[in-house]
Amino acid sequence: MASPSAAANSFPDAAYRVAVVGGTGYAGAEVVRLLLDHPQFEVAVVTSGRSAGIPLHQECPWLNTDLVLSEYAPDTWTGIDAVVLAQEAGFAAEHAAELIPHYRVIDLSADFRLRDPELYRQYYGKSPAPNLGAVYGLPELVDRDEIRNARLVANPGCHVTAALLALMPLVSLDLLTGTPIVDTKTGVSGAGRGRKETEYLFSEIAEDIRPYAVTGHRHIPEIEQMVGRPIRFTPHLIPVTRGLLGTIYAPTKAADFDAIYREFYAGEPFVRVIDGLPQTKAVRGSNRADLAVRYDERTEMLTIMVAIDNLTKGAGGVAVQNLNLMFGLPETAGLSAGGLWP
Amino acid sequence: MASPSAAANSFPDAAYRVAVVGGTGYAGAEVVRLLLDHPQFEVAVVTSGRSAGIPLHQECPWLNTDLVLSEYAPDTWTGIDAVVLAQEAGFAAEHAAELIPHYRVIDLSADFRLRDPELYRQYYGKSPAPNLGAVYGLPELVDRDEIRNARLVANPGCHVTAALLALMPLVSLDLLTGTPIVDTKTGVSGAGRGRKETEYLFSEIAEDIRPYAVTGHRHIPEIEQMVGRPIRFTPHLIPVTRGLLGTIYAPTKAADFDAIYREFYAGEPFVRVIDGLPQTKAVRGSNRADLAVRYDERTEMLTIMVAIDNLTKGAGGVAVQNLNLMFGLPETAGLSAGGLWP
Amino acid sequence: MASPSAAANSFPDAAYRVAVVGGTGYAGAEVVRLLLDHPQFEVAVVTSGRSAGIPLHQECPWLNTDLVLSEYAPDTWTGIDAVVLAQEAGFAAEHAAELIPHYRVIDLSADFRLRDPELYRQYYGKSPAPNLGAVYGLPELVDRDEIRNARLVANPGCHVTAALLALMPLVSLDLLTGTPIVDTKTGVSGAGRGRKETEYLFSEIAEDIRPYAVTGHRHIPEIEQMVGRPIRFTPHLIPVTRGLLGTIYAPTKAADFDAIYREFYAGEPFVRVIDGLPQTKAVRGSNRADLAVRYDERTEMLTIMVAIDNLTKGAGGVAVQNLNLMFGLPETAGLSAGGLWP
Amino acid sequence: MASPSAAANSFPDAAYRVAVVGGTGYAGAEVVRLLLDHPQFEVAVVTSGRSAGIPLHQECPWLNTDLVLSEYAPDTWTGIDAVVLAQEAGFAAEHAAELIPHYRVIDLSADFRLRDPELYRQYYGKSPAPNLGAVYGLPELVDRDEIRNARLVANPGCHVTAALLALMPLVSLDLLTGTPIVDTKTGVSGAGRGRKETEYLFSEIAEDIRPYAVTGHRHIPEIEQMVGRPIRFTPHLIPVTRGLLGTIYAPTKAADFDAIYREFYAGEPFVRVIDGLPQTKAVRGSNRADLAVRYDERTEMLTIMVAIDNLTKGAGGVAVQNLNLMFGLPETAGLSAGGLWP
């Protein structure tokens, strides 16, 4: 028991109005989906460069709203408190500076994630964004007060969220003895809704398992800047829409890892260290991360497995979690820790 | 904006405590999922004959709760207001009489759906349940006051919900000129979680399309008792987990059917007559039904298409909708009209 | 036991060389797949407007061949006996006349399927192709000698193949008493490999069931020209790649339909009237059609169900079946009647 | 061009008759599927303990045959040349000794795979099979003459085939500098057709990604007995039916690995070292393995990726490949190196 229904109640005390820039892609629409059922936020503006003027539910038939899509035109906005940017790389780099004087801003792209501008140039092949004091928005692993006070939050990548939740307990205790290997299996929605390459067609993806970006994936420096050492990372494309499973192989000496991980994440509302093995469907549509560890003495390696919904905990959910922190609300407001199954 | 999060708030005014009998099957667990996020109901008891004593989340890893499963033992229950029966056919027939003096009861099985006991005997091959004054729980198509006042509500079947939402506007205006054909396409979760036949294995179902129960399906008399004439009904098993699409071919003279359907469902919070064509994913996890009509003058036939989530609007969601009515709450409390996509 | 492996043997007596025009789409590549394992045909040329110069296996990694794609340039071809056109509508209309003096030609598009040019104009909105004496290539339902002698064969559409296999036994005996309803459920590969609309992305299609082209589908006149009366036809898009299930509701008086259908298709190597119910996976990758009938006395309607692989029996397989006839080979040469399961 | 059709021709010179013991499971039925289209083998007997007396196509509707299933009764067999055992672990251990005096035998289970009986006891918890001189049937990695001369061939496991194809080129050149990590992603058919646990239901598996047997998987000793050092192995269950992708992380110094792998597998008809990245759908239904390597200098690790069809190259296909060797046929007879896509 807990949440009054979206449809049932209007909260007269609903205080904060949000503009979602790029609301018809998967990540942006996930933010809208969550905010439409949120008690203290109201979706006031949803933009779409391609579909301005069209009702949002025509582009996104799952969203039960009469909102009409508009162009990105912040000078026409009134009464907006927060802006969520869900655009291609480069948009936030160009526009964040004009927004942060007026709004609290969360950016879902990679533009402000890397501390070292050279790494951005190297992995993205473009000029890095200006330094606007962005805070890295992974609440479980950074100082939450920084998020609470930030004007600009850079949402972490979904592979990175899984890898860091798995590795940081070891890093914090300096337990790694070699190169960790991060092997992720991700649903197709991570490729976005605008991808028109043949390879993302249903008929190409269904019944297929494949690796991609075997070396040099852009998420590597984002993981390494927190882990503090090189990692080996390979993602795989799996025929599911939502869900990301990380299997992390960490060389380390024997220890009571189950206790270490449970203590590290004690009190976290959205991280659950479980007895069984994580599976992505248990967290589908949820902001929860399920995590388990198994040690293999024969090879002195810890296997850490973590399951998230790449669009919720890996994108739209953590955005709402960060919004909650930024506006002084309970961190869990409007976010379910339960999944949709089957 | 709307619903305070499950995790964030405890509602001190949460008033009603529910026992879910058979809470680890798909329909029962869907009721639990929805009630765990409901502002005015609390899940107090969840039973499972097979798994009593085990934490519910071990059987259902998607449910974020510490509840422990118990045997069906109503004499040990305290402070329970409502009981939802999500058991095999026959259980409610046997136990409803002992429950209704003490609790408001909703039964998800077919035991109390048919008014004519002979039809039950004929289609189910068993003795019908006693007459306990059960009310048929399809709020959009029955007198809601009957549900509000009922001690026992018989939840409709999922194929039936789709067929009746499609046909009753025509029936109410006496527009049918021949035998309607109901061709449904349903997700596999309708077969339940306990089905251990080989045919429901992933490797059998994936990439397959098949009809079943081509004549004589048990839902036929339940549709016909409201439509008032014979129908032709064939269901098909489709490799999706949730979702039911009904395509109904109704012989009828030309009329402005779009207007007729919009007027018939005006004001209904959970039925949406749309301009486009319904698709099941748009209502996944939602209590909404999407409906559209197209008339073919060449053959004088109206095609009505309706999409629901067989486990939500077709089972657990309508159960909560009925609970809301029975306890004087807003009909939409705790129910989202938005779907989970992609 | 039967077929020497592709890899194992070269047949010195392999006699006929085929050019496949448009060999990287699903239908064209299916023709190539089947011919690469065919004992008497050799794939000599595969064209692709977009990828000329590139090895075919780079575009189609499942094809085990070293062939390099080329432009459509018939004046450069040598020793070609047959041409299979697997292009968009309009290509064959433009080019067939220049090909048929030199080659036996099979066209997989709709250009030459309709006998009445007015219907083509009405349903396709374009000028019909010239009359080149094309023969309709549905071997089980036309005079096979016409196919054997044809210079140009128009391959039937996949929905049409299912509908006609289901209906023609009734039509031939004049048993229909009303309008037949054809409700098809089709895999996504029918939409082709070049479709870049968002709606064919994996993340949009997976876990979804939807109707499309509810009235006015282009296959309607192709069905009606053989059935001889109007039909009601609605296709549905199902999240499988291959496979088409037709459920046909035919008003008719009671008769021994099982015997009627078995007699009608007696001796056909690729049509199997079965005791159980058809399912698409049983014919995946196969040129076989599975068919069953069930009569409902209550509504005086026969339900005919037919399962085919839309890319094999519905496109590439029947093309090879027609090639076999045209070149005097056994009709079944190079075609398996077994499916790939699971 | 290559293979005369199964249906088209009877080969009067078809010489060898095969009994498939356990022909309704996925692996056994795959052997039957391949042999039904094989030029030199005839399926003479198919047994099924559960379904003796029933037509095989009733249990396996994809197989186009009139064979009737029988009990396992070798004393009633006549004219049988080879026996393929596709039964649960333990069957071959019990029955192989009585068969090998009379027939060439291939066993698909693990009974005869491990050279060290102690390892069998440790990983399988049962007494090992007697030593009958079984030859390990992985043609690309063992002495083919041993297979040619064997009375009893032990078919390798599917995860093992992928792991060994990936690792043995490094092992043969002694290039490994640390513990290799084998992370496999496998389709659900590997769990078999008889598995009635809830977890293999479509509704549980669809849209889910999960690890299993994270440590201690039974395939570990089978990999290690050939690699000669400990490995770290974790399999994952993916919602596809067929297909296994192995991602192997091998610590090693820089070298021209592409050349090394191409040379190692030069001339192999069923192993293809490719420029792109392997994907399972490209080898669906095929006996081919696709393999690619990528070196990461930052971490001094080689990533080897290999895709096979777990039921073909990983079970039924390699069985036919071994049968070909044992009977002096071309190794590729009756086996396609092309896949079924989409």
Return the HEC string of chain D. CCCCCCCCCCCCCCCEEEEEECCCCHHHHHHHHHHHCCCCEEEEEEECCCCCCCEHHHHCCCCCCCCECECCCHHHCCCCCEEEECCCCCHHHHHHHHHCCCCEEEECCCCCCCCCHHHHHHHHCCCCCCCCCCEECCCCCCCHHHHHHCCEEECCCHHHHHHHHHHHHHHHCCCECCCCEEEEEECHHHHCCCCCCHHHEHHHHCCCCEECCCCCCCCHHHHHHHHCCCCEEEEEECCCCCCEEEEEEEEECCCCHHHHHHHHCCCCCCEEECCCCCCHHHHCCCCCEEEEEEEECCCCEEEEEEEECCCHHHHHHHHHHHHHHHCCCCCCCCCCCCCCCC
Catalytic-role residue among D158, D188, D273, D291: D158
Are the C-beta atoms of C53 and C68 separated by less than 8 Å? yes
Name the 3-class secondary structure at B255.
coil
Residue A183, Ramachandran bin (φ over 0: left; ψ between -120 and 50: alpha; else beta):
beta
Determine the distance from the C-alpha atom of residue C212 to the mean position of all C-alpha atoms in its chain, rounded to a whole number. Answer: 20
Are the C-beta atoms of B299 and B273 separated by less than 8 Å? no
Are the C-beta atoms of C138 and C227 separated by less than 8 Å? no
- Work out the minimum CA distance from B241 to partner chain C, whole angstroms: 7
- pLDDT (mean) for C282-287: 98
- Work out the minimum CA distance from D195 to partner chain B, whole angstroms: 8
Are the C-beta atoms of C308 and C281 separated by less than 8 Å? no
C281, C331, C334 ranked by CB distance to D3: nearest:
C334
Smallest CA–CA distance from D241 into chain B, residue: B203
- Work out the minimum CA distance from A304 to partner chain B, whole angstroms: 18
Q: What is the per-residue pLDDT for A3?
A: 38
Query: What sections of C141-256 are H helices per DSSP?
Result: 144-149, 158-172, 202-205, 220-227
- pLDDT (mean) for B239-247: 98
Q: Does the distance separating the beta carbons of B215 and C277 come in below 8 Å?
A: no
pLDDT band at C195 (very low <50, low <70, confident <90, very high): confident
Work out whether strand B289-296 and strand B232-237 pair parallel, antiparallel, or are unpaired: unpaired
DSSP code of A70? Answer: B
Cα angle B149-B155-B157, degrees, rounded to a multiple of 5: 155
Q: What is the per-residue pLDDT for B198?
A: 87
Residue B36, Ramachandran bin (φ over 0: left; ψ between -120 and 50: alpha; else beta):
alpha
DSSP code of A19? Answer: E
Are the C-beta atoms of A43 and A106 separated by less than 8 Å? no
Query: What sections of A25-90 are H helices per DSSP?
Result: 26-36, 56-59
Name the residue with tokens 């609440």. Answer: A139
Smallest CA–CA distance from B189 into chain D, residue: D203
Name the residue with tokens 């055992």. Answer: D85
What is the sign, positive or negative, of the torsion defined by CA atoms of D139, D140, D141, D144? Answer: positive
Cα angle D5-D7-D11, degrees, rounded to a multiple of 5: 75
Q: Give the amino acid at D31.
A: V
- Work out the minimum CA distance from D250 to partner chain A, whole angstroms: 11
Say if residue C13's pLDDT is above 70.
Answer: no
- pLDDT (mean) for A1-24: 65
Lowest mean pLDDT among A9-18, A138-147, A325-334, D15-24: A9-18
B26, B188, B201 ranked by CB distance to D200: nearest:
B201
Q: What is the per-residue pLDDT for C75?
A: 96
Q: Does the distance separating the beta carbons of D279 and C333 come in below 8 Å?
A: no
Q: What is the pLDDT of residues C17-45, one digit of tens each?
A: 999 999 999 999 999 999 998 999 999 99
User: Which amino acids of C are annotated catalytic?
Assistant: 158
Say if residue A11's pLDDT is above 50.
Answer: no
pLDDT band at C7 (very low <50, low <70, confident <90, very high): very low
- Rounded Cα–Cα distance for residues A27 and A194 (Å): 11
A286, A288, A333 ranked by CB distance to B4: nearest:
A333
pLDDT band at A13 (very low <50, low <70, confident <90, very high): low
Q: Does the distance separating the beta carbons of C26 and A202 come in below 8 Å?
A: no
Residue C298 token pair: 């209550």
Residues of B in contact with D189 (CB under 8 A): 203
User: What separation, in Å, do the N-terminal and C-terminal C-alpha atoms of chain D show?
Assistant: 21
Residues of D in contact with A236 (CB under 8 A): 185, 245, 247
Smallest CA–CA distance from B243 into chain D, residue: D203
Residues of B in contact with A58 (CB under 8 A): 275-276
Say if residue B285's pLDDT is above 90.
Answer: yes
Residues 6+ apart with CB under 8 A from A87: A21, A22, A108, A109
Write the DSSP string, A73-85: -GGG--S--EEEE
Query: What sections of C50-113 are H helices per DSSP?
Result: 56-59, 91-99
Residues of B in contact with C310 (CB under 8 A): none
pTM of the prediction?
Answer: 0.95
Smallest CA–CA distance from C238 into chain A, residue: A202
Residues of A in contact with B332 (CB under 8 A): 5-8
- Rounded Cα–Cα distance for residues C150 and C137 (Å): 10
User: Which amino acids of B are annotated catalytic?
Assistant: 158
Residues of D in contact with C206 (CB under 8 A): 207
Say if residue B10's pLDDT is above 60.
Answer: no
pLDDT band at A1 (very low <50, low <70, confident <90, very high): very low
Q: Does the distance separating the beta carbons of D281 and A208 come in below 8 Å?
A: yes
Residues of A in contact with C189 (CB under 8 A): 203
Residue D272 token pair: 């293809």
- Work out the minimum CA distance from D335 to partner chain C, whole angstroms: 5
Name the 3-class secondary structure at C124.
helix
Q: Does the distance separating the beta carbons of A277 and D342 come in below 8 Å?
A: no
- Rounded Cα–Cα distance for residues B243 and A284 (Å): 16
Residues of C in contact with A198 (CB under 8 A): 193-194, 196
Q: How many CB pairs under 8 A join A and C?
A: 63
Torsion of CA A28, A318, B335, B151, to 10 degrees: 170
- Rounded Cα–Cα distance for residues B277 and B291 (Å): 8
D62, D63, D331 ranked by CB distance to C281: nearest:
D62
Q: Does the distance separating the beta carbons of C206 and A201 come in below 8 Å?
A: no
Q: Does the distance separating the beta carbons of D299 and A179 come in below 8 Å?
A: yes
- Work out the minimum CA distance from A336 to partner chain B, whole angstroms: 6
- Rounded Cα–Cα distance for residues B323 and B312 (Å): 14
Residues 6+ apart with CB under 8 A from B91: B21, B22, B85, B109, B111
Residues of C in contact with A189 (CB under 8 A): 203
Smallest CA–CA distance from D279 into chain A, residue: A210
Residues of C in contact with B208 (CB under 8 A): 240, 243, 279-281
Checking B34-37 for CB contacts under 8 A at 24+ apart, the result is: B34/B312, B34/B316, B34/B317, B34/B320, B34/B334, B34/B335, B35/A1, B35/B320, B35/B334, B36/A1, B36/A2, B36/A338, B36/B6, B36/B63, B36/B64, B36/B65, B37/A1, B37/A2, B37/A3, B37/A336, B37/A338, B37/B3, B37/B6, B37/B334
Residues of B in contact with D241 (CB under 8 A): 202-203, 206-207
- Rounded Cα–Cα distance for residues D62 and D241 (Å): 15
- Rounded Cα–Cα distance for residues A142 and A149 (Å): 13
C39, C276, C338 ranked by CB distance to D36: nearest:
C338
Name the 3-class secondary structure at A219.
coil
Residue C94 token pair: 């433009």
D231, D239, D278 ranked by CB distance to A240: nearest:
D239
- Work out the minimum CA distance from D212 to partner chain B, whole angstroms: 15
Q: Does the distance separating the beta carbons of A179 and D210 come in below 8 Å?
A: no
Query: What sections of chain C are H helices per DSSP?
Result: 26-36, 56-59, 91-99, 117-124, 144-149, 158-172, 202-205, 220-227, 257-264, 317-326
Q: Does the distance separating the beta carbons of D238 and A208 come in below 8 Å?
A: no
Q: What is the per-residue pLDDT for B3?
A: 38
- Rounded Cα–Cα distance for residues C112 and A204 (Å): 30
Q: List residues in chain D touching B: CB distance below 8 A.
A: 26, 187-189, 191, 193-198, 200-207, 239-241
Q: Which residue has the higher pLDDT, B124 or D163?
A: D163
Smallest CA–CA distance from B62 into chain D, residue: D204
Q: Which subunits have 3 or more CB–CB pairs within 8 Å of chain C? A: A, B, D
Determine the distance from the C-alpha atom of residue D199 to the mean position of all C-alpha atoms in its chain, rounded to a whole number. Answer: 24
Q: Which subunits have 3 or more CB–CB pairs within 8 Å of chain D? A: A, B, C
Name the 3-class secondary structure at C182.
strand
What is the arrangement of strands in the sheet containing C135-136, beginning at the earlier edge strand? Answer: C41-47, C16-21, C82-85, C104-107, C152-154, C135-136
Per-residue pLDDT of chain D in tens (342 residues, 90 and over written 9): 443 333 333 444 568 999 999 999 999 999 999 999 899 999 999 999 899 999 999 999 999 999 999 999 999 999 999 999 999 999 999 999 999 999 999 999 999 999 999 999 999 988 999 999 999 999 999 999 999 999 999 999 999 999 999 999 999 999 999 999 999 999 999 999 987 788 999 999 999 999 999 988 999 999 999 999 999 999 999 999 999 999 999 999 999 999 999 999 999 999 999 999 999 999 999 999 999 999 999 999 999 999 999 999 999 999 999 999 999 999 999 998 899 999
Name the residue with tokens 């220049």. Answer: C98
Q: Does the distance separating the beta carbons of D279 and A214 come in below 8 Å?
A: no
Residues of C in contact with D336 (CB under 8 A): 5-7, 37, 64
For helices B317-326 and B26-36, what crossing angle results, to 10°? 50
Q: List residues in chain C touching A: CB distance below 8 A.
A: 26, 187-189, 191, 193-196, 198, 200-207, 239-241
Write the DSSP string, B97-164: HHHTTTSEEEE-SSTTT-S-HHHHHHHHSSPPPP---PEE--TTTS-HHHHHH-SEEEPPPHHHHHHH
- Rounded Cα–Cα distance for residues D138 and D156 (Å): 6
pLDDT band at A198 (very low <50, low <70, confident <90, very high): confident
Name the 3-class secondary structure at B276.
coil
- Rounded Cα–Cα distance for residues A224 and A122 (Å): 14
Mutation for testing the D interface, residue in A189, A210, A257 having most D CBs under 10 Å: A210
- Rounded Cα–Cα distance for residues B130 and D72 (Å): 51
User: What separation, in Å, do the N-terminal and C-terminal C-alpha atoms of chain B show?
Assistant: 21
Mean pLDDT of chain A: 94
User: Which amino acids of A are annotated catalytic?
Assistant: 158
Q: What is the pLDDT of residues A168-193, one digit of tens each?
A: 999 999 999 999 999 999 999 999 99
- Work out the minimum CA distance from B278 to partner chain C, whole angstroms: 6
DSSP code of B242? Answer: S
What is the sign, positive or negative, of the torsion defined by CA atoms of D324, D329, D335, D336? Answer: positive
- Work out the minimum CA distance from D60 to partner chain C, whole angstroms: 8
- Rounded Cα–Cα distance for residues B30 and A342 (Å): 9
Phi (first) and psi of residue D179, to 5 degrees:
-75, 120
C188, C194, C196 ranked by CB distance to A202: nearest:
C188
Residue B272 token pair: 């949406």
pLDDT band at C110 (very low <50, low <70, confident <90, very high): very high
